[in-house]
Structure 1
Amino acid sequence: MMHANLMNNYFNLNSVYTEEDFRHHFQMRRHVFELLLRDVQQVNPYFGQKRDKAGRPGFSPYQKVTVALRMMAYGSSANSMDETHDMSESTCLDALEQFCDTIVQVYKDKYLCEPNQEDLNRFIRKAEDRGFPGMIGSLDCMHWDWKNRPIGWQ
């Protein structure tokens, strides 16, 4: 039932929500979601749909990935997913852990590598263009002069 609702709302040809709605709800475009879904399914059997002891279908790959992404995008707790996705807290946590581990496994070589000198130069130029010179490796903004910051932070 929940899988059918999810598909009808977001993924079917004449879905309830538009592409813009999808992007707002998932914090990404639909084709990016589909790419992530395909990649995690190819690598990790957890994202296949299994049957329970009674032969009923378990959670679909779409449901598992949706729950993981919603928890990350909105900082939602695992137990809050029960109401909207009919998935227990422990299953949500499993889906999140499996998703994160699989994403790292799939994309680490391409996206999770140390920047080379060319990357660093590009990052420095971007930071300088935005008014943050010398900000490589300093995400805490400690080098940013904030004249009205609270006294307790000075």
Structure 2
Amino acid sequence: MGQICRPSCSGNLDISRQQQGTELLDDYFVRNSAFPNTYFRRRFRMEHYLFNKIMIAVCNHDSYFVQKKDAFGAMGLLPQQKITAVLRMLSYGASADQVDEITRMGKSTILESLMRFCGAIESIYTADYLRKSTDMDLQRLLKKGEI
């Protein structure tokens, strides 16, 4: 009685997503975090302000990354958890199975986050960064190379 899965299936695991999200925030994203900014740079391969800029842009573009309540009223995953999983996969070449232990996310959620993140980044930044270079861009790069 009250069983969520079929009797022949294994039970649902309590993977403490909320606790892991809180620990991630405490480690890297709050003012007096456990690790200094140099650790953040080494772990995420970018500065903290750049991570926040990308996270805000992606959350504004796709509501999938915004934390919401589920049907039972429990809070969902934090945007930092989803984007951390995606960035770890992209920067380290990690698989979804390797990342799920760090972020406490299911494999399907990690892969969905990866696909949505890549789509959002392409939509947001294509006009600025994925365009053909102009003569003005070439001149700017040559001047920068001379310096």
Corresponding residue number in structure 2 for 1:145: none
Matches within 5 A, 1:94-109: 94-109=112-127
Structure 1 length-normalised TM? 0.77
Residue in structure 2 matching 1:37, options 48, 52, 55: 55
Give per-residue Cα distances to partners, 1:73-115, cap 9 Å, x unaligned: 1011011112111111111011111111001111111111111
Contact 2:85/2:100 (CA < 8 Å) preserved in 1?
A: no
User: Are 2:86 and 1:68 aligned?
Assistant: yes
TM-score, L = length of structure 2: 0.80
Q: Specify which structure has the bigger relative contact order, considering alpha-carbon pairs within 8 angstroms and separated by 6 or more residues.
A: 2
Count how many residue pairs are aligned between Structure 1 and Structure 2: 128
In the TM superposition, residue 124 of structure 1 has moved relative to its aligned partner by 6.4
**Equivalences for residues 15-94 of structure 1 within 5 A:** 15-94=33-112
Question: Following the alignment from structure 1 to structure 2, what is the Cα–Cα distance between the partners of residues 29 and 116?
Answer: 29
Q: Which runs of 4+ in 1 moved over 6 A?
A: 124-127
Q: Taking every aligned residue pair, what percent have the same amino acid on both sides?
A: 36
- 1:63 is aligned with what amino acid? Q
